[in-house]
Structure formats: C-alpha cells, structure tokens
Structure 1
Amino acid sequence: MRQSLMGLQRRLRLSALWLWARRPSRRAVLIALGLLPPLAAIVVLASPVPDFTSVKAVSSGSEAVLLARDGQVLQHLRLDRRARVLAWVPLDRVSPAMREAVRLAEDEHFRYHPGVDPLAILSAAFDNLKRERPRGASTITMQLADLLSGRAARPSAGHGFFGKLDQIRRALALELHWSKDQILEAYLNRVGFRGDLVGIGAASYGLLAKGPEGLGEADSAVLAALIRSPGASRAKVARRACAVLRAGGRGLSCDEASLVAMAMPRRPHPMPGVDDAPHLARLLLKKPGEALRSTLDADLQRFAATALRNRLAELDERHVEDGAVIVLDNRSGEVLAWVGSSGELSGAAAVDGVQALRQPGSTLKPFLYGLAIEQGWLTAASLLDDSPLALTTPSGLYIPQDYDRHFRGAVSVRSALGSSLNVPAVRTLTLVGLDRFLQQLHRFGLATLDKEAEFYGYGLALGGAEVRLIDLANAYRTLANGGEFSVAHLRPGEAPGARRRAISPQAAFIVGDILADPAARALTFGLASPLSTRTWAAVKTGTSKGMRDNWAIGFTDRYTVGVWVGNFSGEPMWDVSGVTGAAPIWRDLIEHLHQREASRTPQAPVGVQRRSVSFAPEVEAVREEWFLAPKGATERVGPAVVQRLAEARPQLIAPPDSAILAPDPDIPQRAQAVLLQANGSGCLWLDGRAIAPCGKLKTLIPLPLPGSHRLELRAKGSGELLDTHQFTVRALSAPRRPGA
C-alpha cells in the first residue's frame, strides 16, 4: 500500500513538471540545467594543467649556483632582488607540524574536498553578511592555481565573479591531475610569507634560522599565520598563531608561539649556502636559478683561501689585510683556484683582487731579460753594472735603487734576475728600448698597459705600471709553456683560443732556469727562503713602490700559481716584501699541488747549449750555463766561455747631463745643496776649478747660483778630460705675499 502511494506521488510530480514545462522557454531552462553539469565537467577536463614535474623544474630560485669541475657546490649567489627564493623543498623535508599548521590555517578540509570547499564557501558567505571586510574561502588548491597562473602577483587582476569562476575551474583541473601531496608541496614552495621571502625554505631560514625539517609546532603556527597577512605586526601574528594552535588542540603552546613571533628579525637571517668563490660567481653567474659548472677544483679553492687567510692573520700587526690567489693549469689554461680577497679579514671583501689593477714591482723583469736574451743582446752569463745610475727623463731625474740600498758592482744576468737587482734591470731596459719592451709585454697578454711607452718611462722595468693578477699569472704560464701564449679560461671544455708565440722556446727555457735557481737568488734572498721548494719550481717576487703591493708568481711543470698581498685601500704595508708576504702562500700552494707527484725539471729545447763559464776577474764562481746555440750547432755542450769584465770607464753620475735643478722655495737657498758624483778615478771640476781633492768622487756642495754650469771629470796628474755634464740651476721664485 505504501509503495503504491509513493509511486503515485512520483507520477504526480512528473506530471506536474511536464505540465509546467509545456511552454518552450521553460523547456529551454530545463535542458540548460540538465546540460550544465556535463558542460562544466567538459570545461574542467579541457583546462590546461601544467605537469607537476615541469613546475618543479622551472621553479628557479632567486639564487644561482657556481659548481666546481666535479659538481661540488662552491657558491650560492642571489641575483633576483624582487624575491628571495631558495631551492625547491620536497614535502618529505617539511616537518609534519608545518604541514598540519598550514592545513589548519588555510584549508581545514584540504584532504577531502575536490579543490573547492562548499562548506567554507557557505561559511564565508554567512560571515560576510555581518563583516565589513569580506572573508575569502579560497582553498589551498585555489590559491595554488592563482600562484601558478601569476594572478596572485597581480593585485589589479582582482577576484570578481568571473575571476572566481576561473579560479575554481583551474583548481578543479589541478585536483584531477595532481595528488594532494603534490599540491601541498607546490603551495609551500610558491606561497609568500613575509617581505620578499617566498617559499618555505626562505621563510624558515630567513625568519627562524632553521630548516623546514626542523620546524616545531610553535614555529609552524607562526609561519602559517603569516601566509594570510605577511605584513601583520608581531602581536597580530602571535594571536593568529595561537588560534592555529587551538584549532589543532595545542593551545598550551601559545606562549611559545608568542615568543617565536616577537623574536622574528626585522631583516632576514643569512641564508644557508656555500661561500667558497664569491668573486668568480659574480663574474660568471648571470641568471637566477642557473647552476654553472666551472673549472675550479673545490678542494684546491678551499685550501688556497685558507692559506691566504692564515698568512694574513700572521701579518696582522704589519698593516696587511688583503690578498688574492690564482692557480692555472699550464697545459689546458683552466683556472683551478680563484680567491679574490681575504674575506672577513678585509675591509673591502667584495673587491676582486684577481682582477684589480695593481703595480707588479719586479715581476716584469723576466720578460725584459727574456727579450734581451732572445735578441742576442745579453746571455745568462753577461755582466751588468750594479752601480749608481741617474737617468734624465721629461718628468725629472730617475735614480733607481736596489731593494736593500746596496750596490754590488759587476753581476751576471743570472744573478741580477734571480736576486732581483734593480739597477741592472734599468740598464737592460736602456739597451732593449722602452717601445720594444712594452710590445713584449703586450705579446704576453698584459693588455692593461695601454699607454704609450713614454708614459711609463724607465720605471716600467721595475713595475711602474698596473696589471691584473690573472693576466700576470697567465704571462708566467706562457713562460712555463715554452713561450706560447693562450688565454686562460673558466669553463670546462672551453676552447683556449688562438695560440701565439710570445717568446722563443730557448729564451723561455733560460729565463725559467734562472728563476728556478736557488744560487741565483742567494745575493738577495739567501739559500733558505720561502722561495725554496721540495720540487722544481721557477718563481719571481715583486714589491711595488711604498710597499703597497707584493707578489709571488711562479710555475712548475704542471701549474702556475700567482699570489698578491696588499691593501685594497692603497695604504702601504709595514715592512712586508714579496718574500715575506706573498711568497709563503705561494710555497704552501706549490707544496700542496705536488704533495703526491714531484714537478719534473724541464728538458732543454733544441737550440740551447750548456757551456762552462768562468769570469775574469772572478766576480762569480765557475759554473755551467745555458746559451743560445749558434746556428747550425748540433752538439748539446758547447765550448767553455771566459766572461771578461771590461775595465769600467770613469764617468760622471750626478747630476745627469742636461739636468735642470729647481730650488725649493720653502727652504732657504743657503740650506740647499747638490750632490756631485762620479765613478772610477779622477778629479771633480766645476766651472773650470777643482772642487774636491782628487780621488774624492762623491761630494755635497751648496747649490750653485742660477744659470748654466759645467761639471768635469779629469784624470789625476795629466788633467785629461774624461767626462763632462752640463746642468742648469733655475732661479728661486719670489714667494707670493698673502693676498697678492
């Protein structure tokens, strides 16, 4: 009976619906209502949805990464200043407490709804009837849909009626293609938290100084409270975090959450990351999210940085705070280590000392002597005069001095280069010529020397110019490679570029042999110094004027190592030379590089001969020496050579010929003097009269009257004129009266 009544009622309802729908317009409404669900399903199914794997792959952080040759991370470098985003954090690396807090704060029914929460929509609609500021009902999936589409980054896009429908469509489509864990993982990596911190990685490290896997309940509640209102005050964040904890039945943790919220820093904490090659990273990394592999050796890079810092710490009381190191592979030209500064020891740690322009001191001398040997003007056994020298230049007198202020008389090229004597180098430059020497330096890749030769003057022999450590080290690598130049490079597999001949293999070999000879260094450095290594190595130090820079550059059969020590501020160091500042670092690196395999002594190339050399008089001991072989010579050992010292011709030294002497207006004229000096033997005459006893070849006299003067050196007894110099004394300008 009951079933019959129910059937009757159903038939009556259908009849009533049929009678209501007899009008065409009403039939159209019914048809539309019937078609709406399948049409909506078709729209959702047809909506394009990005693949989770592709979203994860293209989600580049704000940082780029520099990798070593073996893939080890050397440096994280932030390049995107709009947002701070770290590497993608997998969901299993986010603490369960954080996952739960986000669900409670943003989408309580996340695990159960299909992307849209009808209960939340009804609740929000009811609440908004009584609220001045409307409350949203967007689920985590809906928010992620906006984040993926970019709508969340465009506040002007708004969420009107059709915008909300579009958001719902994309959310439903996401739920059809992604799992709940994938949606939550992407959301945690894309959502903003506070300031420019985007993603759970940046937020946890930047605000709480801990990783996502270490977030506790209070930490998680605070971060979850920030999602809805990233700019809220700390007190408001604390209240919202407490509400999240209560929703999860953890109200007892409210006090702890308040402490966490109030302790959030005004500026984010430093982000985690590796900081082993900051200067090279800034040079190479250009695009956020990229991971660029370099030629650097990770272990060597760290060792070089440590060696530099350790040595500078030892020199702390000598006003030294900066330094730089570079290591090159001789064969490939790959850069194996690039340390741009001393890091925390430096007052200008961001400056890259590998690329900074500094004065090279005596490190240019090998290229000068190499040119003279190659052209046949000198040999390694040629004798040079290490005695006082004054040269007239357009800017005044140039009077070079040796480092220890002593002169050694006749010395061989080997001793002059090995012991870094200044006067013989300047004499060699006068022999070679400024233009030829500058062209030689250009052939070795020192392109920063871009002025005319006259601009540098004779001081170029002693490093009176500015070069970069990378260029200078590569020039020494050219010597190591037998005089063949190629550009150093920083990326694996990169072509070294065109090779060119900078100097002959024979001259390069002889220069390298001198730089590796401890006996050649003995005059200045002794036999035991930081330049002495257990393995074969050629090395040269340099100290610039005023001790503002010192260097140690050298090579073995496989590596070239360059070290610079000084102050980026340009302030001088206190009694620190190349052998005490840079050389110990250079030696530590050489020993480290060859701790397993010793450097092999280079084989002499065709075109050089070994000869026995003796000196008359015996200014240096008898030894075996390398010479360029005569054309057509086939024997490796040539005849013995006797190097005779020509008797020095007596000559005037100071003032130089054609010198112009200008009195100092701030010093009384009667207190001003001029040095008259000659070498050899004889008598000094000034303006036709003797001014000192014969044999006294160095005397200080009162400054002569303004005008032209003639200084003569005459032979004792005969009075024969041996040498003559003309010089001019300018008139003393009258001092300007105040107000004149």
Structure 2
Amino acid sequence: MSWRLRQRLLACGLAGMTGIGYLATSAAQAAGLPTFQQVRASHLPSDFTLLDRDGQPLQTLRRDPRVRRLPWVTLDEVSPAMRTAIVLSEDQRFWQHSGIDWQGVAASAWSNLWNERTRGASTLTMQLAGLLDKRGARPAGGRNWGQKATQAWAARQLEARWRKTEVLEAYLNHVPFRGELVGLPALSQTLFGKHPSGLDAQESAIAAALVRGPNARADAVARRACQVLALQQRPCTGIDLVVTQALARKGGPALGEQSAPHLARLLMAQAPADAPSVRSTLDGHLQRLAQETLQRHLLELAHRQVEDGAVIVIDNARGEVLAWVGGSGTLSQAAQVDAVLALRQPGSTLKPFVYGLAFERRLLTPASLLQDEPVQLPTGAGLYIPQNYDRRFRGWVSVRTALGNSLNVPAVRAGAMLGADALAEGLRGFGLALKEPGGFYGPGLALGSAEVTLRDLSNAYRALANGGRWSPLRWQVGDAKRDAKRDAKRDQAGAHGTATPSQVSPISPAAAHLVTDILADNGARALSFGLHSALATRGFAAVKTGTSKDMRDNWCIGYTDRYTVGVWVGNASGSPMHDVSGVAGAAPVWASLVQALHRERPSRAPDLPPGVRQQRIHFEASAGASMVDVDRLERFIEGTEQATWRLDVAATSGTAARPGRAIVSPQDGAIFALDPDIPPRAQRVTLRSQAAQPGQTGQPVQPALAWWLDGRRLATGARHDWLPMPGRHVLSLRQQGQVLDEVRFEVRGASLTPCQARTPCAASVGPSPAPNRGP
C-alpha cells in the first residue's frame, strides 16, 4: 500500500478533529510508554506466593479479591497452540506489520462506508498499548477514530522499542478474559486446571474466543472457537462439551505446591501490599516431610478422637524456622487455625524451666531429694492436691528422677521454693509471654496452668540447647545488615523495658546443661516411660513430653545438637482426646523428624561447660524409708557438690504416725478440692490407718478394721481409696464394734449428678486452682 493511500485513510479517520494538536498529544502519550522490562517488573499478581529458602514456591494465597492475576509467564511457557490461536484470532498479520495493519485499516474503513459490521483494525500491539495506558482503556461503546489513532501512534512506538516476542508475551499476561480473569495464566488455571504450557488446540481456541467475547454465552464461545480451529484446518468435534465444562469451573487455589498456608498468611499480612512473594527460611523438603509425618500419625490416632496437630523445626544456631506446619489440613474441622501460634496449656513441658531456675538459684541440684507424696497446698479456692499422671507416688526421689519421670508433686515443691512470681518472671525470660502475674496461676504454674504457643515454647527449649541463651526466631530471609540494625534497636529498647531484647540469658550455661543432661538421660525416665520409648534416639537428644487439661493438649518438644523440634497434638475445639499421652500422641512425630534430620550425621552430646563438676554420689536410707534412686555419677554446678545423700524416715511428711491417732489420712479438718481436669472416677482420697489387723493361726483372717463414712459402713482393711463426694463428712475407723478414731473433713469443687441403683454417684466438678499435668 502506498504512502499516499495510508495518509488518505488516516485523514478519513481523523475528520472533524484538529489533527495536528491531537497527533501532538498522541506523541506525548506514546513518549511515556514503558519499556518491556518495566512492564514485566510492575506486574502485580493477585495471589501472594510464599517461597522456601531456595526460592521455590511453597504456598499461594489470594490477596486481591477484585481481580485474578497470576505470576507472569514467558512466551516459552505458553503452548505453541495458544500462540497460534491468539494470532489467527486477533491479528493474522502480526508477524509482518510494524504495529499498524494497514490492510486491516483499509478493510475497516471500506466497511464503515457501507455501514457493514466487521472486526476493527486494532492489532495485538495496538490492544497492548491500550492495556498499558489506562487512559486508553476500551470504553463500553467502543473506541472512536481519535482513540484508535492514539493507539496506532503508541503501537508504532512499541514496535520500534520492543521485539515482537515481547509484545506477544506482554499481551498474553495483560489481556482480560472472562469475569475477574486477567492474563492467560489465570484463565488457563481457572478454566482448564493447567498451566499455559499445557493448553491444547481446542482449549487455545476457546481462550482466543473469550478475548473477543469475554462474557459471551457458551454457544457463542463454541462457535467462535470453531472458527479459530477452522483457520488452522482442525476439527471442532466435541468443542461444545469442552466449552461447557470450562465455563462451569470455579476458581480455586493456584496450581502447584500448597504446603505452608499458615506461615504464608502470617507473612502476607506483614509484607508490603505490592510484594508478590516473600522468601522464607523454610526448607521445602523438611516442610513436606513434617506435614506428611504429622498427617500420617494423626490418621493412626483418628479412633482416639484426635484431628489436629502442629510442628515447628528450628535451627539452633541461627534461630531460623525450617518447618512450620500449623495444622493437619483436610483432617481438621478448623484448618484455618494456626496451631503453631495458638495459646494452649503446656502441661509438663514447663517442668525443665522450673528446675533450671532452681538450679540457677542454687536451691536444688540434680541429686537433691524431693518428696513425692500427697500434698495439700492452700489456695484462695481451697486446697490444691496435685496428682501424678499414673496416680502413683514414689516417696522420696532425686530431682533427676523427678524430672525424668515427669512427677508432678516434686515439680510443685520446686516451684514453691522459687515462688510463683519469681517463677513467672523466669518463664518470661525464656520468651514465654504469660498474660498474668505468678500469683494468678498459683502452685499449678509449675505444671503448666498458663497458656503458651508452640512457637514460643519450642524457642524456649532452643534456649536450653544454646546454653541458656535466648534469642528471637526468624522465618523470613532478609538482609543481614538490616537484621543487625533491627536487633540493635530492639536491644536498646529492651534496656528501657519497652521491647524484648534480641538476646537474653535467663539461666547460666551450667544450669542449662544440668537440665539438658537430665532430659537426655534415657535411664532417668525409665520408671514412667521404659527404656524403649519413642523418646530414646540413636544419638543425643534432650526431650520432654506433656499432657494437659484432661488430655486436651499433647506435647513433645526436644532438641539435638543442631535442631529443636516441637510437636503439638490435640483438637482445636478443645475437646479431649481418648487415652493419648505425650509418648503416644506427639512423641512418634517428634522421633520420626529427629531421625530424618540426623540420618546422615548422628547428634552429638554437648561438652561439659565451665562451672559444671562431676561427682560420684551415694544414697543412704534409714530403716523404714524407701527410695528409688541408686548410686551414680552426678553433675553439679560448681560449689553445690555433695557426695552422700541420706534419707531418714523422720524426714518424711504426710504418712508419719500421729501420736494417739489411728487414722493417718485424711487428717482432721482437711479440705479436698477436686480437679476439673481429671476424670472424677480417677480422683481418690486415700483412707489410711496405722492400726494392726489381728488374725488367728489356722483360721481365715477376717478383716477387723472397718471404715464408716457418715454413719454407713464403707470398706474394710487398713487402707481404702475412696471416690470423693462433695460435702462435709464424718469418717470413723472401727475395730470389733469399737470406734478407734474419728475425723471430719470436707470435699469441695463438685456437684452431685443423679445416682442410679447399685451405681456409685459421679461427681461433676467445678473450678479448681490448677489442673494436674501428665508426662
């Protein structure tokens, strides 16, 4: 076509306008067109992508509800069928023209002279110019000739600066399709469930047809797609069904891996609004392994009323989170809840910090003897009577045995030595954000009556692994200098009490080492767990389990020389599990992950830090005294060593005979407060007598001691475990009709439920000072 004819066609299109001024405006607009690199860099997906530490996608979340725009795809990632279909449908001479299709302009102008309805003369380049310049966006009634001239001028400028492949690539990423879908990636995933590289000829023809009629009915889309296929000499058999199925599909999550939704939501909320992705510290392989291990184990526990769980894995040295599994996914009815950040009662997992603080203050050593016998602690609501998980008491035990076997009464005694407020302050030093002062929790704080998160509790264990030094966690890859400045500001603010310092040392390396040594001692926990439990690892590992609130929360947290692994198992709803202890619930997941982390290199035990001494110790017990500890090589903080530990029966309490009294327990005037977190039938008051039972040689021994409660015969024998009932009671011990002793006591914190014939009444218990905690 000659230059003169082109000018006449443009003149016809610009009739009625001040051509010189308008073209000057168009030139100014075209001069502001961005480069291809700028367009690609400014592409903002509607979805947020979480990347692992190597930059690989782990999770995608919808951020912009108004439009669906996915990450940019290169032309090499678009199927040849799609590239062919869009060119044949929208601009058949795309590869030949320089931005303006003069033959199309001529055909359009000729048709307009005869008022014929035909396609416009806009090329792909002209359409892209309109998409890039929002002022040139297509109006509802179509563009007039003046606006088309602006597009034409901008298209020439684009073609002069961009390569043809760049034009087509940018167009496919910007063109609106159907409804909220913008760009080929969003269309391909939503309508066909695949990436653009996988589109076949029919799917590509449908996509091209939707460019022309984004909101057309299915029959119109199918008809237009057949025309595109005809241009390629391809059959359109079955196209109606493909169109119907495609248009019926609803949008869903982005294709690809979806394995870290909870951390992705956290980082998306913290990231700038224009950040399409964030690189996390997660290890993609470890994240998948943790997720699969947790789900597999929860499936095995499904018959025990367990559906939720969480896992966190931390690098000890750097404080980087390597795995963050906030839930069990489809197994849960509360999949959106991030159990890594949920506040739950930690149970016995707080005990290592109780003893660590006691070691630090020289109140106890690993060899110190604590009494594991029933104890009544006065509180504002009555008496608090802690129980052990197995309802057994073992007398006098060393701290190593008490912590290793997770005995509750010794832990409460250790907490009482510290004081509730001092214990609460010490726990805060480990990064546990307790909401209330220590007095609010009372004696039960040592057994985990406060609420903490799995993230914070696991980082507190990491502090033990690092010799008592606490520092914050990191779960986002950032600039090292920026992180250093942030930590410096935090330290400065922390000196004035307005922020948490970047590093604190709540206990010394020596005290932390003693706790670590006990938690890693498989023999020390043999009484409760045996020698072959899930807590016994191939290499070094210090680990503690915990169960709380009538089996509502189940924990296993431990560390090796390189990693800290925290696992929680339970129900987000707070409903109790059925017969799931720490060693059966969370421990198998913990053990599997520790084994995988150290498959190539076993974990090594730490060396003795300065200030720790080893001393062989000897235990002695007087006649009548019993203890489970044996002579061994023990570790002490320097200055607290002691070779011989002697136990006299006179040192015991609670079971010693009272002069002139036949009833040893309960004592006269005692008040019992029932615990709401222990099943009522599992709570017993021990009735114990020191009176002898006579028998005659050659004759059956007849029980001569009888317990009478409130005027009724209750049981026989020198001891009886009684299911407590609320109210004030009179208990007498009788022998051959004579009353040997009588006491009065009270049971609080329970209300009666209807009794059935020949069935003992159950107790529906009310609030108590603190729950008992299990291993």
Taking the TM superposition and a 5 Å limit, the aligned residue runs for 1:265-304 are: 265-268=248-251, 270-285=253-268, 286=271, 287=273, 290-304=276-290
Matched, 1:641 2:644: yes
Distance 2:417 2:175 in 1: 72
Give the match for residue 109 of structure 1. Answer: 93
Q: 2:605 aligned to 601, 604, 629, which one?
A: 601
Taking the TM superposition and a 5 Å limit, the aligned residue runs for 1:547-558 are: 547-558=551-562
Give the match for residue 176 of structure 1. Answer: 160
State the AA in 2 paired with 1:108. Answer: Q
Q: Deviations over 1:54-110 (max 9, x none)?
A: 212222322333222233332233322222222222223322322222123222332
Matched, 1:312 2:271: no
Q: 1:461 aligned to 420, 426, 446, which one?
A: 446
Give the match for residue 611 of structure 1. Answer: 615
Deviates more, 1:607-616 or 1:223-232: 607-616
Give the match for residue 8 of structure 1. Answer: none
8 Å CA contact 1:381, 1:643 repeated in 2: no
Give the match for residue 474 of structure 1. Answer: 459
Q: 1:299 aligns to what SS in structure 2?
A: helix
Give the match for residue 431 of structure 1. Answer: 417
Q: 2:257 aligns to what SS in structure 1?
A: coil
Q: CA deviation at 1:470?
A: 0.6
Q: CA deviation at 1:295?
A: 1.8
Change over 3 Å in CA distance of 1:136–1:499 after alignment to 2 = same
Q: 1:627 aligns to what SS in structure 2?
A: strand
8 Å CA contact 2:708, 2:715 repeated in 1: no
Distance 1:729 1:237 in 2: 76
Change over 3 Å in CA distance of 1:703–1:483 after alignment to 2 = closer
8 Å CA contact 2:385, 2:673 repeated in 1: no
Matched, 1:213 2:217: no
Change over 3 Å in CA distance of 1:302–1:46 after alignment to 2 = closer
Q: 2:432 aligns to what SS in structure 1?
A: coil
State the AA in 2 paired with 1:462. Answer: L
Taking the TM superposition and a 5 Å limit, the aligned residue runs for 1:676-687 are: 677=687
State the AA in 2 paired with 1:628. Answer: I
For normalisation by structure 1, the TM-score amounts to 0.82
Q: CA deviation at 1:377?
A: 2.2
Deviates more, 1:697-706 or 1:593-602: 697-706
Q: 1:451 aligned to 433, 436, 450, which one?
A: 436
State the AA in 2 paired with 1:519. Answer: G
Change over 3 Å in CA distance of 1:202–1:681 after alignment to 2 = farther
Matched, 1:262 2:248: no
8 Å CA contact 2:687, 2:720 repeated in 1: yes
Q: CA deviation at 1:446?
A: 0.4
Matched, 1:137 2:140: no
Q: CA deviation at 1:43?
A: 3.5
Q: CA deviation at 1:654?
A: 4.1
Distance 1:274 1:330 in 2: 27
Distance 2:715 2:555 in 1: 46
Taking the TM superposition and a 5 Å limit, the aligned residue runs for 1:95-494 are: 95-125=79-109, 127=111, 136-151=120-135, 155=139, 159-250=143-234, 253-264=235-246, 265-268=248-251, 270-285=253-268, 286=271, 287=273, 290-447=276-433, 449-492=434-477, 493=480, 494=483
Q: 2:566 aligns to what SS in structure 1?
A: strand
Give the match for residue 26 of structure 1. Answer: none
State the AA in 2 paired with 1:393. Answer: T
8 Å CA contact 2:310, 2:325 repeated in 1: yes
State the AA in 2 paired with 1:71. Answer: G
Distance 1:594 1:674 in 2: 45
Distance 1:686 1:84 in 2: 77
Q: CA deviation at 1:517?
A: 0.7
Taking the TM superposition and a 5 Å limit, the aligned residue runs for 1:610-689 are: 610-617=614-621, 619=627, 620-630=629-639, 640-647=643-650, 648-649=652-653, 650=656, 654=666, 659=671, 677=687
Change over 3 Å in CA distance of 1:646–1:163 after alignment to 2 = farther
Higher relative contact order (CA 8 A, sep 6+): 2
8 Å CA contact 1:444, 1:485 repeated in 2: yes
For normalisation by structure 2, the TM-score amounts to 0.78
Q: 1:89 aligned to 73, 91, 97, which one?
A: 73
Q: CA deviation at 1:577?
A: 0.9
Q: CA deviation at 1:559?
A: 1.4
Deviates more, 1:645-654 or 1:186-195: 645-654
Give the match for residue 44 of structure 2. Answer: 60
State the AA in 1 paired with 2:595. Answer: E
Q: CA deviation at 1:608?
A: 2.5
Q: 1:569 aligned to 551, 570, 573, which one?
A: 573
Distance 2:747 2:173 in 1: 81
Aligned-pair Cα RMSD in Å: 3.9
State the AA in 2 paired with 1:145. Answer: A
Deviates more, 1:429-438 or 1:351-360: 429-438
State the AA in 2 paired with 1:465. Answer: A
Give the match for residue 531 of structure 2. Answer: 527
Q: CA deviation at 1:372?
A: 1.9
Distance 2:424 2:301 in 1: 35
Change over 3 Å in CA distance of 1:177–1:710 after alignment to 2 = same
- Could you say which structure has the larger radius of gyration? 1
Give the match for residue 544 of structure 1. Answer: 548
Change over 3 Å in CA distance of 1:676–1:640 after alignment to 2 = closer
Q: 1:213 aligns to what SS in structure 2?
A: helix
Q: CA deviation at 1:533?
A: 0.3
Q: 1:268 aligns to what SS in structure 2?
A: coil
Q: 2:525 aligns to what SS in structure 1?
A: helix
Distance 2:48 2:146 in 1: 39
Q: CA deviation at 1:316?
A: 2.3
Q: Deviations over 1:140-194 (max 9, x none)?
A: 1111011111246674797345433322221222122223222111111110111
Q: 1:427 aligns to what SS in structure 2?
A: helix
Q: Deviations over 1:394-442 (max 9, x none)?
A: 2344222211111212211111110011122222222322111111111
Change over 3 Å in CA distance of 1:725–1:330 after alignment to 2 = farther
Distance 2:726 2:593 in 1: 57
Give the match for residue 16 of structure 1. Answer: none
Structure 2: stretches of 5+ with no match in the other structure: 1-16, 488-500, 659-663, 675-682, 693-704, 734-738, 753-775
Change over 3 Å in CA distance of 1:486–1:681 after alignment to 2 = farther
Deviates more, 1:638-647 or 1:427-436: 638-647
Distance 1:511 1:241 in 2: 72
Deviates more, 1:648-657 or 1:262-271: 648-657
Distance 2:684 2:643 in 1: 47
8 Å CA contact 2:727, 2:747 repeated in 1: no
Deviates more, 1:433-442 or 1:307-316: 307-316
Give the match for residue 736 of structure 1. Answer: none
Distance 1:704 1:324 in 2: 39
8 Å CA contact 1:615, 1:645 repeated in 2: no
Q: CA deviation at 1:514?
A: 0.7
Change over 3 Å in CA distance of 1:729–1:415 after alignment to 2 = closer
Q: CA deviation at 1:244?
A: 2.1
Give me the identity figure in percent: 50
Q: 2:314 aligns to what SS in structure 1?
A: strand
8 Å CA contact 2:310, 2:568 repeated in 1: yes
